[in-house]
């Protein structure tokens, strides 16, 4: 049984690594180096399975160099690091970790919205710099959240969680735009109303992005879209880097075209566009929306369980693709 070799491409919880080692011969990366594509491909040699994160690109070149590979399990709900069609063509199963991070990520999305609207980061920097010497009526006066209008672009599981928090917890008017409408039952549950993207951008006090990344969703928010938003509006991105044109956003923030932004994801992360670091009216966090101990453990365990289930029983728990002639 231990002759089957797998790769764990980034550091994970030691007990999850132990669980994998009970089934497979494991090469792990507990030093947590971020490997180049060439080094990742080299490490994949001889491995039939791999546990990856969003930093590991699985593309046709890697697949061609590793024809023995059977499954790659992503420790993330997003999978824009996977070329899924190429994986399917190569007979490699792809899996992700949906559901286990939904509520935690929705919590963080709302926390980032609150921090952005109420200028928390900006005011903390002011305080730490020793600039707080008196109270004034307009000191860091931000945007109202309770009773305002939130526009959600992308209303899958996480977007629905944000809608419920907004409508039921903060009495917000919820509007949304998506490739397809929710069922009437889900719309009622979320108290959400479907609108066009243009109407959402023009009317929302707060715009929240939760759309999956794809070629079609690249720069969903760019200069033209930012120009449609209210000068008092905020923008929050907990989706993926590339959904927002970060350079255009930095210009809009510097010009006061919108009031503020909150970003957990970035184009080319972990690099951040330098102009975003120069504007005060943006809250920046390092892709931590799912970062609670409980949730990260659940993500690691589900990724491991996908490897164990597929390589021992031929059926993954949360597959992204279906392979011809294989159980998925």
**Chain mean position to CA 230:** 25
> Is 43 in the active site?
no
> Is 181 in the active site?
no
Paired with 32 in beta bridges are none
> Is 179 in the active site?
no
Torsion of CA 130, 279, 259, 241, to 10 degrees: -130
Active-site entry in 10, 240, 273, 296:
240
Q: How many CB atoms lie within 10 A of CB 198?
A: 11
Active-site entry in 57, 157, 219, 287:
287
Alpha carbons 130 and 236: distance in angstroms, whole number: 28
Nearest to 291 by CA among 266, 265, 272, 317: 265
Q: How many CB atoms lie within 10 A of CB 73?
A: 32
Active-site entry in 27, 103, 189, 269:
269
Q: Is 204 exposed, middle or buried (0-12, 13-18, 19+ CB in 10 A)?
A: buried
Phi–psi pair at 327, nearest 5 degrees = -75, 135
Catalytic residues: 240, 269, 287
């Amino acid at each position: 049984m231990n002759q089957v070799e797998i790769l764990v491409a980034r550091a994970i919880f030691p007990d999850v690594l132990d669980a994998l080692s009970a089934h497979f011969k494991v090469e792990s990366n507990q030093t947590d180096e971020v490997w180049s594509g060439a080094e990742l491909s080299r490490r994949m040699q001889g491995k039939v399975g791999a546990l990856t994160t969003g930093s590991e690109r699985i593309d046709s070149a890697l697949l061609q160099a590793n024809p023995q590979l059977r499954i790659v399990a992503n420790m993330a709900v997003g999978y824009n690091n996977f070329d899924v069609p190429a994986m399917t063509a190569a007979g490699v199963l792809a899996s992700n970790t949906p559901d286990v991070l939904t509520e935690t990520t929705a919590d963080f999305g709302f926390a980032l919205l609150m921090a952005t609207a109420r200028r928390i980061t900006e005011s903390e920097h002011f305080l730490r710099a020793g600039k707080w010497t008196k109270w004034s009526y307009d000191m860091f006066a931000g945007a109202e959240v309770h009773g305002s209008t939130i526009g959600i672009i992308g209303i899958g599981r996480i977007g629905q969680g944000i809608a419920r928090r907004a409508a039921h917890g903060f009495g917000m008017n919820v509007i949304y735009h998506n490739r397809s409408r929710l069922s009437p039952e889900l719309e009622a549950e979320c108290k959400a109303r479907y609108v066009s993207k243009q109407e959402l951008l023009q009317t929302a006090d707060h715009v929240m992005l939760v759309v999956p990344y794809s070629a079609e969703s690249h720069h969903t928010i760019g200069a033209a879209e930012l120009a449609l938003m209210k000068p008092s509006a905020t923008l929050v991105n907990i989706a993926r880097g590339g959904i927002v044109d970060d350079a255009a956003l930095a210009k809009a923030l510097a010009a006061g075209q919108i009031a503020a932004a909150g970003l957990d994801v970035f184009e080319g992360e972990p690099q951040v566009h330098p102009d975003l670091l120069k504007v005060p009216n943006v809250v920046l966090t390092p892709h931590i929306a799912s970062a609670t101990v409980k949730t990260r453990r659940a993500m690691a365990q589900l990724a491991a369980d996908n490897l164990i289930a597929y390589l021992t029983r031929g059926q993954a728990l949360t597959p992204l693709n279906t392979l011809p002639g294989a159980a998925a």
